A and B are shown apart, each in its own frame.
Chain A
């Protein structure tokens, strides 16, 4: 199903991606002509429209980014951001359930949606001549959804199944545990899919209230990327989103965050034979200047095939079968974590070895070759994202919700100017060897 990934596993993946895809074509590295800059407009009703001309293919990406997500939920309404997102595909005043998926697929296109802590996004990718259809559908979904109680009951089961799939997968489940260990009572520590109690209690009215409160023009960014002209896009948007009234929505104050002061250990018994170990820390927000330096530190330590942890723990010492490291930025605070798959008997040894490798990076910093390779990897990820209109729309959307367009447009150049000393300093500042979250998934039989 095209829209099947209104799901958590992908939401997690997208959080991870947030760090990877940032920035803009570097003028000095590009052999070709510079693409025109994005056009940013704020409509009279407060909606932000970002249009980027991108002529690589006859395909247009239309993304709606709404600055609401799990962290805006009421404590007794956990899971409603995501539930509400699902329901937008289940029928509007104009269209019946299933129509949206069919209409988009009928053009050869795809639709998708994700809910995370900071944002909810609805993404449509279609041949350029279907741009009006795509914008019209998104407008209808956002403002005219029906929330039919029958469809709500059916979709609740779909989400419970999604929860089971997520829980069954140790690699996604352990990252969820890491968020809750690192952020504690802060809304970033909440389950993305809610709790069985809140989900069962959700009524048509609850979901409508959430929708009406947060799905307002002031709280939205529409990103359109493809072989399009800003003026023509604006005309279509004026006839759809542009007609929706401003509601006077103002975002709630940001909840405060307590730092981790010690080693927080969370041990979970699991049915798998292999063990999983995650070490995690709070990380700077996406807009923080340190974020890019920590991106490079994470790549060098554990984020590539030839990273330090891959070469030592995986290839030489054979203590882990897999290792990776991510710096997942968010608006208020990111999370940086090392994830390994290993034998249960090696858990203590691996923790010790990871801490030693962190200490070594903190003491000596990276080599010049490591810095260059990490920058190359970031450039390559960035170029791959910017190759397609949907990749660009994704990068713009995330930065609009979590930082600013400028943050994204300057990312690669900032990254390239980061020195070895700055990478070392980021490792010292953020990767404490005495205060972190430790999450172990251990096989039941081994204990």
Chain B
């Protein structure tokens, strides 16, 4: 990455569009005639290769009646293709010195695989096989569906998950796709069958909606032609864009839910912009000041000094559409009233008093450092490259973002806090 910083200066525009053929050191990008993009990052640090095949498909493409279909489809891909059974896929991955898996998320779904780099070609072929020739066998659909329904039921029993799901519903409205977890809604998942999954697969697995990113001890000149051969045969198709409803305007609300358990959960949330928005870096720094790890205000003041929290955090997930900032506090039921007031006070203070330069500096380092830590492995590097591409951003996007985080000032933090945290929705989950 040291090599890459040289290119940063020239690329400080936040929304630098992906340029066809644009290259940063060690990274090659190629668009196939059918519209699919392949990106290869050469990283000779260890004899390993990672693949991330991202598809622009997730809860964002779902409606209430099919909530969870993206994740369910992904789970089915690695459970059988025209060439191999699910067991054979797992055994082959073992032989190649790696693994292969697939899952759905909010904006993107991923097929992720690793292998010893000398087996890069065999694993690339397996990734293509899983992505292009899944059989989605009927019997397995039933077993996987039962597994997912159990997962959803388990979420309903955990106070934290219930608070998280109810906060999403409060923030985005019940029909908005960010209102449900990628595992989906039980009523919808129970109705999913092979036909529905196959139809959804055909609609979403289109070359223009897919990016394959490869990172590892491989040569781009060798990988590119093979990727072109394997994926180039896919027919181009027209993708329909999701019509994501607008979340309801922010209003001050407070809801209480009862779930058995020892802890009470307090969630305070506000709508916050997509990760491509110019305010995103300042909001991430604000979020880190409040609840980013042990140096944060929530941790040091609410947990350590006032002993009002067992657990605490601030979340602001990166999303393609309007996302949410969420302040979280887990506390004993006896402390609930005090803890709620204290959390509210924290959200008020960040809007009214400027944070110290020292505090902002620590938070900036935290945001940049956390990102760097997450990008340590080839698997995550591949994911970041593919995610930037699908969002229409350049491969250097996350380096540019890190540079922008480093420029965030105390005034920026106060400005975005005022703009986005003025009104919050509160969700409380407590024992009966």
Report A's interface with B, CB cutoff 8 A: 1-2, 25-26, 29-35, 54-59, 98, 101-102, 105-110, 125-127, 130, 227, 304-306, 373, 376-377, 379-380, 383-384, 386-390
Q: Which residues of A contact B365 (CB under 8 A)?
A: 106-108, 127, 130
Q: Do the beta carbons of B46 and A126 come within 8 Å of each other?
A: no
Q: Do the beta carbons of B366 and A106 come within 8 Å of each other?
A: yes
Q: Do the beta carbons of A32 and B294 come within 8 Å of each other?
A: no
Q: Do the beta carbons of A376 and B48 come within 8 Å of each other?
A: no
Q: Which residues of A contact B219 (CB under 8 A)?
A: 31
A-B contact pairs, 10 of them (CB 8 A): A30-B47, A31-B219, A56-B378, A105-B293, A105-B295, A107-B369, A227-B2, A305-B94, A376-B97, A384-B46
- How far does the alpha carbon of A67 sit from the alpha carbon of B118 in the complex, in Å? 37
Please, which residue of chain A has its CB at the minimum distance from the CB of B2?
A227
Please, which residue of chain B has its CB at the minimum distance from the CB of A56?
B45
Q: Which residues of B contact A35 (CB under 8 A)?
A: 44-45
Report B's interface with A, CB cutoff 8 A: 1-3, 42-48, 90-91, 94-98, 114, 116-118, 217-219, 293-295, 300, 304, 362, 365-373, 375-378
- How far does the alpha carbon of A35 sit from the alpha carbon of B94 in the complex, in Å? 26
Please, which residue of chain B has its CB at the minimum distance from the CB of A385?
B46
Question: For the complex, would chain A's binding face be called helix, strand, loop or mixed by DSSP majority?
Answer: loop
Q: Do the beta carbons of B94 and A306 come within 8 Å of each other?
A: yes
Q: Which of A59, A105, A305 has the most CB of B within 10 A?
A: A105
- How far does the alpha carbon of A90 sit from the alpha carbon of B217 in the complex, in Å? 42
Please, which residue of chain B has its CB at the minimum distance from the CB of A387?
B46
Q: Which residues of A contact B366 (CB under 8 A)?
A: 105-108
Q: Do the beta carbons of B295 and A102 come within 8 Å of each other?
A: yes
- How far does the alpha carbon of A306 sit from the alpha carbon of B376 in the complex, in Å? 30
Q: Which residues of B contact A110 (CB under 8 A)?
A: 373
Q: Which residues of B contact A98 (CB under 8 A)?
A: 294, 304
If A57-B1, A106-B295 touch, whether A127 touches B46 (CB-CB below 8 Å) is: no
* Chain A nearest CB, measured from B208 CB (Å): 31
Q: Do the beta carbons of A55 and B294 come within 8 Å of each other?
A: no
From A54, A107, A383, A388, give the contact of B116 (CB < 8 A). A383
* Chain A nearest CB, measured from B82 CB (Å): 24
Q: Do the beta carbons of A57 and B376 come within 8 Å of each other?
A: yes
Q: Which 3 residue pairs across A and B have the least CB separation, nearest first?
A: A108-B369, A32-B44, A380-B97
Q: Do the beta carbons of A54 and B45 come within 8 Å of each other?
A: yes
* Chain A nearest CB, measured from B221 CB (Å): 11
* Chain A nearest CB, measured from B48 CB (Å): 4
Q: Do the beta carbons of A29 and B116 come within 8 Å of each other?
A: yes
Beyond A29-B118, A108-B372, A376-B97, 13 additional pairs, beta carbon < 8 A = A25-B47, A31-B117, A31-B217, A33-B44, A101-B294, A106-B295, A108-B366, A125-B373, A127-B368, A130-B369, A383-B48, A383-B97, A387-B378
Q: Do the beta carbons of B217 and A30 come within 8 Å of each other?
A: yes
- How far does the alpha carbon of A304 sit from the alpha carbon of B91 in the complex, in Å? 11
Q: Which residues of A contact B300 (CB under 8 A)?
A: 102
From B3, B47, B218, B362, give the contact of A106 (CB < 8 A). B362
Q: Which residues of A contact B1 (CB under 8 A)?
A: 55, 57-58, 227
* Chain B nearest CB, measured from A127 CB (Å): 5
- How far does the alpha carbon of A26 sit from the alpha carbon of B48 in the complex, in Å? 12
Please, which residue of chain A has its CB at the minimum distance from the CB of B97?
A380
If A106-B366, A108-B367 touch, whether A55 touches B2 (CB-CB below 8 Å) is: yes
- How far does the alpha carbon of A371 sit from the alpha carbon of B358 in the complex, in Å? 57
- How far does the alpha carbon of A57 sit from the alpha carbon of B215 in the complex, in Å? 12
Q: Do the beta carbons of B97 and A26 come within 8 Å of each other?
A: no
Please, which residue of chain A has its CB at the minimum distance from the CB of B3?
A55
- How far does the alpha carbon of A227 sit from the alpha carbon of B46 in the complex, in Å? 14
- How far does the alpha carbon of A107 sit from the alpha carbon of B3 in the complex, in Å? 22
- How far does the alpha carbon of A115 sit from the alpha carbon of B335 in the complex, in Å? 37
* Chain A nearest CB, measured from B77 CB (Å): 20
